[in-house]
Structure 1
């Protein structure tokens, strides 16, 4: 089993994660400026509830349709604590803070402020999640924070500062959400995204009805549901795939493209004025993202004995760097000796030491 073929398989997994992360960033990046045009149509609670309602309307039926043919590991009993936490932070606190912030900032500025999510995700992933990011990560974080400060335009009071505070709260909630989601991403990403969407929708809309909050017009509601289906539902699902394959820190680098896409969308589609502050902040944040994208991390590392349950690939021709375990014959498809196949089950990784390019996924959270 040639080492080159095994490395190619690992690179394919990384590429899948990169495309998923970039697609999630595009969808979410375009959603923020569109939401900002609807902030006056209803209360923040109803708008946030409708956005996740659109996500639930898309993901829940899709999960039911794919449940029988899914090769993924479903959510386990021990996962529910993390699911509740990420639903509360990412599905309730984050969207509510975002909608409040969007009412006080221009679409382009608020889009760029969302890049703080990258900084928070990096810090939490490295300091708490034991992921590794070198000097490039520190430089990128500094550049992103500098860009966010420029967007405040020196104001310490008034709408700009308050809007920035709301966006900061939203991005902090999503930064914590990303780290929790990365730990759960070995489970079925579609199922997790559907549970999160439904779990955020029901309490927010239920509370909005109970408190007699102002709801948008039917046309605006339909538009919010559509934005939620794509910019939240599909984006969350793709982002979980990226978190699984890349780790939270590097996923944050790719998702940093969302604010640039949002700002560009605002200028081109919504005809927002391109200011000096937006231009300079965009330049700093773009440089920060490019610094991290150029990172290549490889060294000799040791894998401790590990047992877990997730979807993984077996290739009889190329083998695998991490999944070379045996199976009962009844678990294997008929052509298992000739063709690659995917499946999910509880399995053990034996202790081993090797060297190859890697990211901080579930198999590479070692000391440096």
Structure 2
């Protein structure tokens, strides 16, 4: 894995967390203007519009499109992340105090990490585990760390929502070699259209037009662009490391509320900032490198070739049609089905799709 790909994934993950973190306090200012179902549908509707716009201006020819074999996983992550998660969250929020809900929402990072490491064969070393512990501890501190007033039913619903998102994150990682814009658009549209239709059929109240436009804008950035960037991070980092970076979203939201919405400063915010900064810095400085072996692997995805020597994982022969219109004497990106031969070497890497080996 090229070191530049690692940095690109880290920046994409942090940017996704920033956009999502800012969206949360903004949404909280308009929650009383409509039903939870109509608001969620509008947010994902804005996400769909943003992603369709990005597709108009971004070249997707050098990406592998979603195939028929990917539809079950895509349908599952859309159902879990776009429908089950939000509905369970809304039902749980109605039964729990705000502090308890905020604390339990940190289970998403825990579930994502556990599934990625235990089932997805991702490797997270001591430094990565320490980084995860620091960022999750900071998120717990920001959520006041109290389960006062919690009840079994509400807690179970919030846990169900976070489990759905944890599975969604890992399913998204498994599809991250496909066109991320296409995946994000299908997910956003698959979530928004049923929720909006259901809200209309059930006669749920919708916000006033100015608030609807604001929700579409918030959804465009905090859900649409954020989902796309998150998929790029999942591709380059794996689900475990992406979960650590995305755990910074609560801090971003708290800082935004402090600076922009003029909410009161709390000592917890300062301590959480230190913990989260330490956790992210540990992850950014992580250099996991050792001798490892690649088995034969055949798949299709976007990759880069450099005639002067580039990614050793993608030194393979091409059919003439695969290089049509490409200046083969210059570095270029393209996507096609290819086979990785056996390879043994040592270099810095993370648990992306090409590095799921034993340690």
TM-score, normalised relative to structure 2? 0.89
Following the alignment from structure 1 to structure 2, what is the Cα–Cα distance between the partners of residues 179 and 121?
7
Aligned to 1:354: 345
Aligned to 2:108: 117
Residues 1:308 and 2:299 are matched in the alignment: yes
Aligned to 1:4: none
Following the alignment from structure 1 to structure 2, what is the Cα–Cα distance between the partners of residues 24 and 149?
20
5+ residue gaps, structure 2? none
Aligned to 1:57: 49
Aligned to 1:12: 4
Bigger Cα displacement from structure 2, 246-255 vs 286-295? 286-295
Aligned to 1:32: 24
Following the alignment from structure 1 to structure 2, what is the Cα–Cα distance between the partners of residues 11 and 46?
43
Q: How does 1:119-198 map to 2 (within 5 A)?
A: 119-147=110-138, 149-150=140-141, 151-157=143-149, 168-198=159-189
Following the alignment from structure 1 to structure 2, what is the Cα–Cα distance between the partners of residues 333 and 73?
16
TM-score, normalised relative to structure 1? 0.87
For residue 149 of structure 1, report the CA deviation from its aligned partner: 4.9
Residues 1:293 and 2:284 are matched in the alignment: yes
Query: Retained in 2: the 8 A contact 1:48–1:92?
Result: no
Following the alignment from structure 1 to structure 2, what is the Cα–Cα distance between the partners of residues 99 and 286?
31
Following the alignment from structure 1 to structure 2, what is the Cα–Cα distance between the partners of residues 290 and 269?
26
Query: Retained in 2: the 8 A contact 1:36–1:99?
Result: no
SS in 1 for 2:32: coil
Following the alignment from structure 1 to structure 2, what is the Cα–Cα distance between the partners of residues 165 and 178?
20
Aligned to 2:194: 203
State which of 31, 44, 58 in structure 1 corresponds to 2:36: 44
For residue 94 of structure 1, report the CA deviation from its aligned partner: 3.0
Following the alignment from structure 1 to structure 2, what is the Cα–Cα distance between the partners of residues 87 and 69?
21
For residue 67 of structure 1, report the CA deviation from its aligned partner: 8.3
5+ residue gaps, structure 1? 1-6
Q: How many residues align?
A: 357
State the superposition RMSD in angstroms.
2.8
Query: Retained in 2: the 8 A contact 1:111–1:262?
Result: no
For residue 277 of structure 1, report the CA deviation from its aligned partner: 4.2
State which of 186, 207, 227 in structure 2 corresponds to 1:236: 227
Bigger Cα displacement from structure 2, 323-332 vs 114-123? 114-123
Aligned to 1:78: 69
State which of 206, 211, 216 in structure 2 corresponds to 1:220: 211
Aligned to 1:22: 14
